[in-house]
A = this chain, B = another copy of it.
Amino acid sequence: MTAENTPASAQSITAAMVAIGDELLSGRTRDSNIGYLAAELTKHAIDLKEVRIVPDESAAIIAAVNALRARYDYVFTSGGIGPTHDDITAPSIAEALGLPCIYDEAAEKLLSAYYQERQLPLTPARRQMARMPQGAEHIANPVSIAPGFHIANVFVMAGIPQIFQTMVQNVLPQLEKGKQMLSLAIPCPLGEGTFGEALAAIQTRHPQTSIGSYPHFNPDNKNPFPVEIVIRAREESHLQQAAKAVEDMISTLLQTQT
């Protein structure tokens, strides 16, 4: 957990996310935390392997966290750590880990000082934000003080995007990193149906790369489905060899078409 400055050694460090909240499943709120975390983990050489969105229901949170924390190196959660009755993430995580959910003393002090300064009482609702599983460490929240927490390989963060993002930035330096996944995007003017087989053959010949093909819909284009071919690999040489093959494929197919 405290792998700060650990040299990148492992080939792959994996992660999962649990986004918690009825509002994400009703369509009321369009989630932006998943995409943010995905991009940040990729930058930091951690592979996000699965995301689950679950409602504000303890059993659903516990099931998701327990399934994922056993399978991946890290689990990140968003949402459900505020001061209202539907904020049940802290006790749910405690239950998932078989730990008591306590009022963390240091968190109480932080909250107490914060609200005192604002001449607001530390109501039981506000005090609720000091709850965490016994033994958890804080994830600092400079936006609104109430901390997230991490315990074992589970990192519990707020749902409000500005706070979530700050917490992610506070957590990233503590995480062990894998070997950076390199990637290269090659724009392709041909449709997927034209190069599908040739690209599959390139993927087979370059097993240490992962090649994806991403069409977009652009009805005003001559080719309404322009594509980006994205190659990913952990070694620069593998990346470059596959890129050369893809570029050659595109040239050859373009010549055939004329």
Contacts and interface: CB of A to CB of B under 8 A. Distances in A.
B126 A196 contact: yes
A192 to B, nearest CB: 5
Contacts of A28: 42, 214, 230
Contacts of A56: 212
A10 to B, nearest CB: 18
A160 interface: yes
Interface in A190-246: 192-197, 199-200, 203, 210-217, 224-225, 230, 232
Interface string A123-136: 11110110000000
Contacts of A4: none
B53 A50 contact: yes
Interface in A1-52: 22-32, 34-42, 47-52
B214 A29 contact: yes
A152 interface: no
A144 B226 CA distance: 13
Contact of A143 (B193, B200, B217): B217
Contacts of A51: 24-25, 51-53
Given A28-B230, A38-B26, A48-B26, A196 B85 contact: yes
B213 A86 contact: yes
A84 interface: yes
A139 B193 CA distance: 20
Given A85-B196, A123-B197, A42 B27 contact: yes
Contacts of A187: none
For A83, A115, A161, A197, the residue with the greatest tally of chain B CB atoms inside 10 Å of its CB is A83
B192 A125 contact: yes
B22 A194 contact: no
For A120, A123, A230, the residue with the greatest tally of chain B CB atoms inside 10 Å of its CB is A123
A36 B26 CA distance: 10
* 6 interchain residue pairs of minimum CB distance: A125-B196, A27-B39, A27-B38, A85-B200, A126-B193, A51-B53
Given A27-B37, A27-B38, A84-B200, 6 more contacts: A24-B34, A25-B38, A30-B32, A83-B192, A86-B212, A126-B196
8 contacts: A24-B51, A27-B42, A49-B60, A84-B195, A85-B196, A120-B194, A123-B196, A125-B195
